Amino acid sequence: MVTSTLPETTLPPVPGPQFPVNERQERFLELAERLAEIAARNAPGHDRAGTFPHDTFAAIVESGFHTLTIPEDQGGMGANVLDTMIALERLARGDGSVGLAACMHLSHVHGVATSSEWPDELRQRFIADVVANGALYNIAESEPGLGSPSRGGFFATTAERMDDGCWKLNGRKTWSTLAPAMAYAGVGATVVENGQPVEKARFLVPMSAPGVTIDETWDNMSMSASGSHDIVLEDVVVPADHRLPVSGKPGPSPWSILTSAVYLGIGVAARDFTIAFAKTRKPAAMGGRTIATLPNVQQRVAEIELKLLAARSALYGAVQQWEEHPEVRESLGWQLAGAKVLVTNNTIDITDQALRVVGSVGLQRRHPLERYFRDARAGLGNPPLDDVAIGMIGRSVLGE
């Protein structure tokens, strides 16, 4: 998909694993492609204004794509993690902000739908609301003074048990992607007893609950339409059973790096734009030849293809192993972390090379390349962070 004013041109297949490989994936990819076209049309306006793409998400919910990761016996589409990744890659080619916001919902809704620890009645009501009413969900844990929640530390947001057993929450959450469209937030808080912090916990908070407000603070270079505003909680009361279970330390899982598919999609979009530009750009000085005939352009495009080949092969190779060979899952943790690092950094390199091919024209907002360049950088902040992943890989390989 080349979302620009460029002339139509034939593009080579994306390097790396080819999909779909079955009828289910074909359905998911066709749906993702239709939604990506809608997202691409709406993206420039929302990116420039920093507004949330409610119009695109209305189409997502109407199509049922928001139920992609819910098992079929619960009313969803039943996608596994590989299916979900290839669909998100395709969606993100249209708009990275939409891809990221959809990714957050799909990841966490899958976690709820497949949880054996959530209170059963609450889980059923929650999933029914998602399926029947298009309720959207994300986790809200980041805070102004906390940094990445993956680094540890107590939340400044507090939860106090009331006499009737309900919980009262107070605090502020940052980086709350999808905030303008969420029906529920999974809020991380510190349980306080007798004025002292006791433990970290998570609570299911309806965004319609009294005391919940959205402070529209999001003004970001990257993913500017993702709606990652602050959520403010002032004496918000939730029922006793809305305290969610805290699982033990999770094992390695590709669901934890689902955002990698979004950044892969941005890399593919940048690659497609660059190839289309090179094959149609005919400077007057070149006597009717395109810049695709220039050796330096060919070299840079080759570097883009190699970066994309490595990223897609690493990500989908590790995920396919996970799906097809459960017996090796425990050994895949460092490969999954490594795939995330490769995808993020290779996508950043791809967008950099793309701008070097296209030149200053690529900085013009009438083309999407400058948006791809900006959005790619957001991947550095998604877990696992580079230093955490590199440390994990080193310890795993050295047996430490």
Domains in the chain, CATH or no CATH each: 23-136 (1.10.540.10), 138-244 (2.40.110.10), 254-398 (1.20.140.10)
pLDDT value of residue 152 = 63
**Torsion angle of alpha carbons 12, 13, 16, 17, nearest 10°?**
-170
Q: Where are the beta strands (DSSP E) in 23-102?
A: none
Phi and psi angles of residue 257, each rounded to the nearest 5 degrees, phi first:
-120, 30
Quick one: pLDDT at residue 196?
86
Q: Which amino acid is at 338?
A: G
HEC states along 128-170? HHHHHHCCCEEEECCECCCECHHHCCCCCCEEEECCCCCEEEE
pTM for the structure as a whole:
0.95
Q: State the Cα–Cα distance between residues 72 and 77, nearest whole angstrom.
A: 5
Kindly report the CA angle at 177 between 337 and 339, in degrees rounded to 5? 15
| Structure confidence at residue 3 (pLDDT) | 58
3-class secondary structure, 236: strand
First to last CA, the chain: 45
How far, in Å, CA of 48 to CA of 37, rounded? 18
Q: At what angle do helices 259-280 and 96-113 cross, to 10 degrees?
A: 150
Return d(Cα 165, Cα 150) in angstroms, integer.
29
| HSE value, Cβ hemisphere, 13 Å, CA-based, for 65 | 31
pLDDT of residue 248: 53
Q: What's the mean per-residue pLDDT of the chain?
A: 95
Secondary structure, 3-state, 175-222: EECCHHHCCEEEEEEEEEECCEEEEEEEEEEECCCCCEEEECCCCCCC
What local confidence, expressed as pLDDT, does residue 227 receive? 98
- Supply angle C-alpha 39, 232, 257, rounded to 5: 45
pLDDT at residue number 9: 86
What residues of the chain score a pLDDT lower than 50? none
pLDDT of residue 252: 79
| Res 197: pLDDT | 85
Predicted pLDDT of residue 249: 57
CA–CA dist 270, 278 (Å, integer): 12
- pLDDT in the model for residue 8: 82
pLDDT score of 148: 57
pLDDT, residue 102, reads 98
Q: Measuring CA to CA, how many Å separate 149 from each of 7, 153, 197, 231, 297?
A: 45, 7, 17, 16, 42
